[in-house]
Structure 1
């Protein structure tokens, strides 16, 4: 590894990557308690329009992910991350200063576009240094630290609303972006050696993209990631309405949101301990089957109760479901990137942008179907889980076929 500064510990590297990944989570979860205030202050027309504050961010994220990866393969990882963080900061300032809902949505697109740089290049940095189960282990530790953000961010957003307006949340995101920029600049060495960099050319991007999309394992696990994440987008978009309006939790919304997020955090810790022993494929296959069966079963319960199961039952179901899904993300990312080490930047861009495109395309309509009951959400998790199961089975059959093909 080529260095631009002294060697840093793996613990500090994990912490930096976790903070970098957390730019996305903070930009989403800290907004949740303020969605109603934002929609009211800026004159959103439809009650479900508040979800655009989230989906616009994901739209920018989807577009940006495909751009930063190829740039990082040519310039090195750090310059591409710098550019993304600057866009993230600029988008946050636009949102904090605007008095128009449309302008805020455009600012969120820019903010998401900027966040794509740190997100996708950080994944390439991990792949520069680790592979296979070791990469899955590192990603699990990253996710374990990263998951503290969804647990704490809604509470921080709620606390901010007690002392300031929703604009203060955006100013806080700007400050976090500045901290991440300075930490990266002063404490992290470059992970891509000059000898491994490739000229930024359309031909290289197209060849690498074609290789990533034609690899059955990479494509299958990328699609599966998108399906699973699509269900989460529908949850994020409707969680404030479900908890605060349907169940009337008021300011306790942040507490319930944190309980559910803790299920993912626990899964990340468990995965980090077990993945080296049982392997990524075995753990994720078991977790996905469990999530599908649980979702289908609880969907029947929700129908019998007219879409209004007791709050304790809904929270218990979602916490266990999030635990199973938490076993998927780190493993699926590692499985998708495993064959792509020689083109990690473009491959990370392709897998990230494609999975986000699938997630936004699937999750946004599910969220817009919210009708005052939890049925659309639970049905979305069930359908997206089954789609992910089909995608992973397709990928694994292709992998096994290649393994038995005579050379």
Structure 2
């Protein structure tokens, strides 16, 4: 049995795992200020460029379905290191992509590599913690990881000031090189051989089947996926909305994006304090209700034009705050229910997040780019959907709270 880290080892564990998890938002968010310039240089439409975001999200989602059972069979370290190596190669391919189609393909492969990091991080937490302890740890990870979307667009803007969008992907590749070194030297194996599962097709399918028959688990998966879709609708649409509709410069966009990301960070860090008095289930229900109200307020402001940019940014802040409250608790509850197959459960949870999130981003571009209404409408749909699912599936008391 691997013992959970304590004291200084706990802090080190949080920092290392948080840095590894941060590769996802860094890979996604650093290139956001470059999306309009990518469209111009590659003669691509707004929807096609947003498709590059969908590419990495789909790679993240589908890759987790493959990596999850693998991580339960061979342990956590080897899939993690292999995934980081694939991320480095794919990032260099993106930097050299001559067309938007090849760039999208590179982003899919990037996502496949990053999927290993997401699965291993969640499964490692479940190997060592459960219930409220896992939710608290995930909130701490959100603190480390939450810095990434705040600083990433600023880093991307700084790179763009001295080079092109291709330099952004070169920097992301360098980040992967640093992280694979950190993972190799500092992250121990947390799944002992006696707890590993056989990697065979029928047992894997049976495991997925048992997960999908758990009504509460499926509800948590859908809530998590819909809230991720809300978050990624903002990530995919905000660059065009804030820069092209409201006229913000690259620097101003990076600042606005960072300030809104503080909402996510505030929600995730309030969560451990709330967990001292409330169960994770109750916080999830409150978080999705707040998110639905903020999203509807955003849609009303976008549709009427009342209040201009301030009444767009205000609801966005509270919506991201609601995501910060919700997203640490859904995996903690879901994985606690299936600790015997933590890698596979984490894979299904992560796949739903990124597949649903990836499907939301291009819808915004398809609905048009003349106003903030498409982004607001998609976010209102996903956030209210999460609130409805929570009302239907998180009734009563969960023993794991």
- TM tier, shorter chain? over 0.9
Deviation at 1:282, TM superposition (A): 1.6
Deviation at 1:303, TM superposition (A): 2.5
Unaligned runs of 5+ in 2: none
Map 1:3-402; keep pairs closer than 5 Å: 9-44=9-44, 46-251=45-250, 252-305=252-305, 309-397=307-395
CA distance in 2, matches of 1:35, 1:386: 28
CA distance in 2, matches of 1:327, 1:270: 7
CA distance in 2, matches of 1:366, 1:276: 39
Conserved in 2, the CA contact under 8 Å of 1:2 and 1:189? no
CA distance in 1, matches of 2:373, 2:40: 26
Q: 1:15 to 1:370 in 2, by over 3 A?
A: farther
Deviation at 1:368, TM superposition (A): 2.8
Deviation at 1:53, TM superposition (A): 1.9
Equivalent residue of 2:247, what SS?
coil
CA distance in 2, matches of 1:158, 1:148: 16
Conserved in 1, the CA contact under 8 Å of 2:22 and 2:144? no
Per-residue deviation, residues 59-98 of structure 1 (Å, max 9, x unmatched): 1111101011111111100001112111111110101122
CA distance in 2, matches of 1:76, 1:364: 35
Give the number of aligned pairs. Answer: 395
Per-residue deviation, residues 98-141 of structure 1 (Å, max 9, x unmatched): 22222111111100111101111111011100100000000000
Deviation at 1:204, TM superposition (A): 1.8
Conserved in 1, the CA contact under 8 Å of 2:237 and 2:364? no
Deviation at 1:197, TM superposition (A): 0.6
| Deviation larger for 285-294 or 30-39 | 285-294
CA distance in 1, matches of 2:9, 2:133: 16
Q: Spell out structure 1 runs of 4+ moving beyond 3 A.
A: none
Conserved in 2, the CA contact under 8 Å of 1:35 and 1:53? no
Q: TM-score, normalised by structure 2?
A: 0.94
Deviation at 1:358, TM superposition (A): 2.4
CA distance in 2, matches of 1:88, 1:119: 13
CA distance in 1, matches of 2:88, 2:309: 38
Conserved in 1, the CA contact under 8 Å of 2:22 and 2:145? yes
Deviation at 1:8, TM superposition (A): 7.3
